[in-house]
Homo-oligomer: A and B are copies of this chain.
Amino acid sequence: MRAIRWVGFDGDDTLWKSEDYYRAAELEFEGILGTYLDLDNRRTLERLLETERRNLRIFGYGAKGMTLSMIEAAIELTGERISARDLHRIIEIGRATLQHPVELIDGIRAAVEAVAAEHEIVLITKGDLFHQESKIEQSGLADLFHRIEVVSEKDPATYRRVLRELDVPAERFVMIGNSMRSDIAPVLQVGGWGVYLPYPVTWAHEAEHDEIADAGRWREVDAAAGLPQALAEIEQAARAAGIG
């Protein structure tokens, strides 16, 4: 029997492109505010990030929360001078973000198929339930996964719950994703393994993470095509550690 039984994949920016659309949304937001403000653009986006972070506790992740935070930040930054028409344009930004095309990451379909041939695989993705389900369906990858979990936060408690439901011990689970904060660090913390597949664009909030101590339990690959090899190395390391 294999040491590694289940492999998890993140969704946004691991299976399909996402952050690019959020960045495009921010650019449009800056453009609208630019007609009201002398602030340079960096300061505008800093204030948006502050508003989003303050609201995360109430709104959670996702494009609807982003849109509400954009409206709120726009009202506050302009001292209530922004017009209803421009606020309507911000709602349109949100609507467009929720309907962005789903474009797969290069090589990911072949990589997911290769991994699925060897392991049970689960998609663990964070954000608006409705938007995530829509992207999963459009991705054409849904049928490859044995389980799909949309979660509101990717912290150790969430991974413990998902692994309990999959009935797999953490030491036999590998998570693949583009966020050290959400995909790798919490999985290592509960005793699992990780493969970090970075995406060129990362939301500032996701980029922050504590130092990862457990260097032996994760690998980094620079393209989806490298995933099967990284998993083979982890399988070997797990066996060497007496798992399986």
Which B-chain residue is minimally distant from A91 (CB atoms)? B72
Closest CB-CB distance, A21 to chain B, in whole Å? 14
Interface residues of A in 5-62 (CB under 8 A from B): 58-61
Contacting chain B: which of A125-133, A173-181, A212-220, A235-243? Answer: A125-133
Interface 1/0 per residue, A72-98 and B, CB below 8 Å: 101100101111110110010011001
Q: How far, in angstroms, from A133 to B152 measured CA to CA in the complex? A: 8
Judge whether A58 and B152 touch: CB under 8 Å: no
The answer to whether the Cβ of A67 comes within 8 Å of any Cβ in the partner chain is: yes
Judge whether A60 and B130 touch: CB under 8 Å: yes
Judge whether B60 and A129 touch: CB under 8 Å: yes
Which B-chain residue is minimally distant from A98 (CB atoms)? B58
Given contacts A81-B84, A128-B128, contact A65 B64 (CB under 8 A): yes
The answer to whether the Cβ of A225 comes within 8 Å of any Cβ in the partner chain is: no
Residues of B within 8 A of A84 (CB): 74-75, 78, 80-84, 87
Judge whether A130 and B80 touch: CB under 8 Å: no
Residues of B within 8 A of A81 (CB): 84
> Could you name 8 residue pairs across A and B whose Cβ atoms are closer than 8 Å?
A59-B130, A71-B87, A72-B88, A75-B88, A80-B88, A84-B84, A84-B87, A128-B129
Known A58-B95, A61-B130; further 13 A-B contacts with Cβ < 8 A: A59-B98, A59-B130, A64-B64, A64-B65, A64-B68, A68-B68, A68-B94, A72-B91, A75-B87, A83-B84, A87-B87, A128-B128, A128-B129
